[in-house]
Amino acid sequence: MWTLFKIINIWWLLSSTYVWIMALMPMPILLVLANASMLICFSFLPIKFRFDAKLGWVILAIVLLTLWSTWIDGWINGIMTMLQYIPVLFLLQLPYEYQKDLLKFVTKWYAILLAPGLLLYWALLFTSLPSFGTFVHPVYKPFTNYIFYLKTTFDYGTFERFNAFFLEPGHQALVSTFLMMANKFDFRKCPWLIIMALGVAFSFSLAGYLLSIVGFLLLKVNSLTKALVSLGAIALVGGGAYMWSGGDNALNEMIISRLEYDESSGIKGNNRFFDNTDFEYERAVKSKYFWIGVKTKANMNLISGAGYKIYILNYGMVGVILALIFYLTVIPARPDYRYTISFLIVLTLCFLQRAYPFWYSWLFPYVVGIYVAKGEKIYSKRESETDYEYSEEDSTYNRLIE
């Protein structure tokens, strides 16, 4: 049952981020299926259910999010909101060894699934290959389906962007970045992260690049030497990119040119909102609807884009605060503060551009990441307080998984 529980977790992480094979299924059905299957598997695990103050606060945060969503959208969307956050309760009940094993499993198999897509992506840059037909989605341009890689018919211009089996390159970059963050960008300890780094690189996602760089620096730069080396590397890459800019190439068109200053949006790459969205947002800021959303007062069909403005127009600033409260309540007592704060910073930066705090691709890496980081911190401290090195057999902290 533990193996099945792990499989369900990676399946839901991918499905909640619109992996193509599940993208056309109704989300309510997927939510019920994910929660029911997790509950069944969890009930067969040799884990004693623990209810404490921490769990109580998390449940309260979910209730508040559910009530707010119900008030904004109706009871069906309220239930959907509840079902999106409930899987976190299962993660919080897992002992450290289970959480660590779950993170290792999801990381490994996500990378394994990503690898064939990368190979297909590179091969298709130079030759044509037989496909499995066309995948059509009502929102996106049709895709040529290679199972592990959806090649869009949208003309990116100079270079095709790698989206793997997701509907957008940004989705792939987001999942890859958050899983690298959950594993502390430890490429030596977890070589599977190399595949994810390549996925982010060939996504040509400006947000993916910035989030990965910021996350890496926040976690890895802990000395003057590392700071200087990191700044030197960034300067070298930036200098090379600048020398390459201005030409007809992918890096210039998709990344460098989008970093140029723009009077209306700050940088040209800040293109997540459209004219009507900006108009409605500016109106909302000057009224009470900034706090409660404009769904009852505006035609939401005319509001498009992604990011914090869309989220505020939908759920108001109250909805933003409630989501933040949830992310704060799941933090364990005496966590690895640097790691937890770093992850929250990366999530906040992501929220500005792609505001989906209810996606499991946000929730899973964050929750499992901060709890595994705490467990590693405790284990490291216990090792340092003994005269001998703990082993898997004699450590009372590292219980073996049956």
Q: What's the pLDDT tens digit per position in 326-351?
A: 999 999 999 999 999 999 999 999 99
Contact 106, 10 (CB under 8 A): yes
In a domain, 257, yes or no: no
Residue 158 belongs to domain spanning: 2-220+272-384
In a domain, 278, yes or no: yes
In a domain, 50, yes or no: yes
For the entire predicted model, the pTM comes to: 0.85
Domain count, the chain: 1
Residue given tokens 């957008």 in the structure block: 168
What's the confidence (pLDDT) of residue 398? 45
Report the range of poorest mean pLDDT among 193-207, 278-292, 338-352.
Answer: 278-292
Q: What is the pLDDT of residues 11-40, one digit of tens each?
A: 999 999 999 999 999 999 999 999 999 999
E strand or H helix at 144, and its extent? strand 143-145
In a domain, 250, yes or no: no
In a domain, 196, yes or no: yes
SS3 305: strand
Nearest-angstrom CA–CA distance, 45 and 161 = 41
In a domain, 248, yes or no: no
Nearest-angstrom CA–CA distance, 96 and 375 = 6
Q: Which two tokens stand for residue 281?
A: 């947002």
In a domain, 230, yes or no: no
CB crowding 45-59: b at 16 or more within 10 Å, else e: beeeeeeeeebeebe
Residues facing residue 266 across a β-bridge: 262
Report the range of poorest mean pLDDT among 135-139, 151-155, 220-224.
Answer: 220-224
In a domain, 37, yes or no: yes
Nearest-angstrom CA–CA distance, 64 and 46 = 31
